[in-house]
Amino acid sequence: MEKFELTILGCGSALPTTRHFATSQVINIREKLYMIDCGEGAQLQMRRSRLKFSRLNHVFISHLHGDHCFGLIGLISTFGLLGRTAPLYVHAPAAFGPILQSLLGFFCKGLDFRVEFYPVDTSRHALIHEDRSVSIYSIPLRHRIECCGFLFQEKATLPHIRRDMIDFYRIPICEINNIKNGMDWTTEDGTLVPNHRLTEPSDPPRSFAYCSDTCYLPELTQYIRKADLLFHEATFLHEDLARAQETFHTTARQAATLARDSQVKKLCIGHFSARYEDESLLLKEAQSIFEPTILAKENLLIKI
Amino acid sequence: MEKFELTILGCGSALPTTRHFATSQVINIREKLYMIDCGEGAQLQMRRSRLKFSRLNHVFISHLHGDHCFGLIGLISTFGLLGRTAPLYVHAPAAFGPILQSLLGFFCKGLDFRVEFYPVDTSRHALIHEDRSVSIYSIPLRHRIECCGFLFQEKATLPHIRRDMIDFYRIPICEINNIKNGMDWTTEDGTLVPNHRLTEPSDPPRSFAYCSDTCYLPELTQYIRKADLLFHEATFLHEDLARAQETFHTTARQAATLARDSQVKKLCIGHFSARYEDESLLLKEAQSIFEPTILAKENLLIKI
């Protein structure tokens, strides 16, 4: 299977603790890196996770609270020092454009690469980026300020060649790419061998959904149904529901309920409030509703 | 002796490594905290060093390279979330004022405390702040952009009371403060006991000098002579002198030479280039010139 991995760089919430960095994650799809949120320390954490700066071309910012974006200027600044030349694409709520521009103008004069800003309409579910490997959609969330999640939908890979059939019909190597791309084969005696006899279907495309920060939104099911992995914030225990509602955050039980109702394969919870010394309580609460839940943790790598 | 301590929060240079945070330090004088530089992650490192946010009222920024100031907006933002009400005083090169203002306007609306900005003239040696415990002076440095160091000069404490003499003359407790402040004592029979017989001189005031980032400047001796502790950058080994000169940084040998020539009591070197995996080489080089040298390290506490 082609690589599709999530690395957690930070999974704390707004207040710093000795346990967590601020929010940031990196998706690795076929050795291309996509960053989601960029809290303070994200660049340091990329180093610690041995993720190559040069493979990162896209950064997606969910919302403009500092614990989700204060690390970006440092990351860009470092790219400049390292002599980067490839453009960096920043996708974020529109209001981030001017402030990013003024930071760049002040701290990053003379960069050898462009920082291209793409405003994201956080109120809609829409395609915001695609390339050969992946389509990335926004997921409208509800928080104290405008905010969206992101859905990473892997693109189908080409079917697998059936080695035995290639040998049997003595099909030359140079034709294999055509067959992968759907061509039938005609033997020397004129017999047509249909493509499906020469190939096996590729692995089904996988998906990853990121939902943070948000209050509990049961309607997210429509966007994240059957995702292979859902990362959802679980800032609070359900006993602190009032506080969760007040601050537009989600409890562990609510995150697990959404995961169950959306029939996702696996749930990873994070964005832990500084108030919980023992985060296993959050895990237990979520697992009581949806067993395949794990706790986010700095530098954790999850294969999707 | 009254408390006078330095805590290193980060001692790396501009490029992130797995070993170091960006530059930041905290001076604790009699339980008041003063931050020098505020690289990314400074707030996290304050937590790890168990330094109380509420005791920090002054931040001094040496220069406006990102690795010395990108952590400030996150720190201020956290102070806001924690309900701080006391003003925070930021001392930095004048150009920082407007950019800090625009970051505050965007990310920290409705703070319950004032952030007061004091421009520092980095070209002069001048008093930039004083209170009951300390006088803080700028030290003009030479770097690629305008930059200054800081000299923390402890104020003299009151003399120690000689308990035996107080008992001997049966001086009432309520007079002790007056005597500490220099008053003589007259006995019932009219004999004058001069103050110096009732007290012992206080501990000599201590000083700490911070010099980073800068090329080697032998003339700094005039500002830092006989300091109890000198923190000086030693970004490079002397074998990389050409690179040090090109980038306006100092080698370990140069930092140690300055320490020796200034007759400081102790030297702490830091701001290590990412190129050296083994920093003990920097230490050895410095110690060959000035023996009482130590290496900075994250969360290291040095009593002055």
Contacts of A15 in chain B (CB under 8 A): 78, 81-82
CA distance A227 to A262: 8
Q: Which pLDDT tens digit goes with each residue over B10-40?
A: 999 999 999 999 999 999 999 999 999 999 9
Q: Which pLDDT tens digit goes with each residue over A37-92?
A: 999 999 999 999 999 999 999 999 999 999 999 999 999 999 999 999 999 999 99
Does A4-157+209-303 carry CATH code 3.60.15.10? yes
Q: Does B41 touch chain A (CB under 8 A)?
A: yes
Distance (Å) from the alpha carbon of A141 to chain B's nearest alpha carbon: 20
Q: Which pLDDT tens digit goes with each residue over A268-295?
A: 999 999 999 999 999 999 999 999 999 9
Q: What is the pLDDT of residue A26?
A: 98
Q: Which pLDDT tens digit goes with each residue over A168-190?
A: 999 998 999 999 999 999 998 99
User: Tokens standing for A13?
Assistant: 């919430």
- Partnered with residue B154 across adjacent β-strands are B134
Q: What is the pLDDT of residue B131?
A: 96
Q: What is the DSSP letter of B211?
A: E
pLDDT band at A1 (very low <50, low <70, confident <90, very high): confident
Q: Which pLDDT tens digit goes with each residue over B196-244?
A: 999 999 889 999 999 999 999 999 999 999 999 999 999 999 999 999 9
Q: What is the pLDDT of residue B1?
A: 81
User: Tokens standing for A207?
Assistant: 């998906």
CA distance A23 to A220: 21
Which CATH fold topology does B4-157+206-303 show? Metallo-beta-lactamase; Chain A (3.60.15)
Q: What is the pLDDT of residue A58?
A: 98
Distance (Å) from the alpha carbon of B75 to chain A's nearest alpha carbon: 9
pLDDT above 90 (res B157):
no
Q: Which pLDDT tens digit goes with each residue over A118-140?
A: 999 999 999 999 999 999 999 99
Would you report the helix, strand and coil content of chain B in percent, each value rounded to 5? 30, 30, 45
Residue of A3, A42, A4, A37 whose CA lies nearest to A21: A42
Q: Does B294 touch chain A (CB under 8 A)?
A: no
Query: DSSP per residue over A235-252, as a string?
Result: -B-GGGHHHHHHTT--BH
Q: Does A43 touch chain B (CB under 8 A)?
A: yes
Search chain B and give the residue with CA nearest A39.
B74
- Partnered with residue A58 across adjacent β-strands are A34, A89
Q: What is the pLDDT of residue B264?
A: 98
CA distance B29 to B153: 10
Mean pLDDT of the region B123-143: 97
Search chain A and give the residue with CA nearest B95.
A106
CA-CA distances (angstroms) from residue A116 to A89, A104, A135, A188, A287?
5, 12, 19, 54, 41
Search chain A and give the residue with CA nearest B68.
A74
CA distance A166 to A148: 47
**Is B184 a known ligand-binding residue?**
no
Q: Does B191 touch chain A (CB under 8 A)?
A: no
Q: Where are the domains of chain B?
A: 4-157+206-303, 166-200
User: Tokens standing for B268?
Assistant: 């702490």
Q: What is the pLDDT of residue A157?
A: 86
Distance (Å) from the alpha carbon of B255 to chain A's nearest alpha carbon: 25
Q: Say yes or no for a CB contact (<8 Å) between A107 and B66.
A: yes
Known active-site residue A203: no
**Which of B16, B41, B71 faces A78 most closely, judged by CB atoms?**
B16
Mean pLDDT of the region B166-172: 92
Average pLDDT, whole number, for chain B?
A: 96
Lowest-confidence segment of A259-263, B64-68, B182-186 by average pLDDT: B182-186
**Is A213 a known ligand-binding residue?**
yes
ipTM of the modeled complex: 0.92
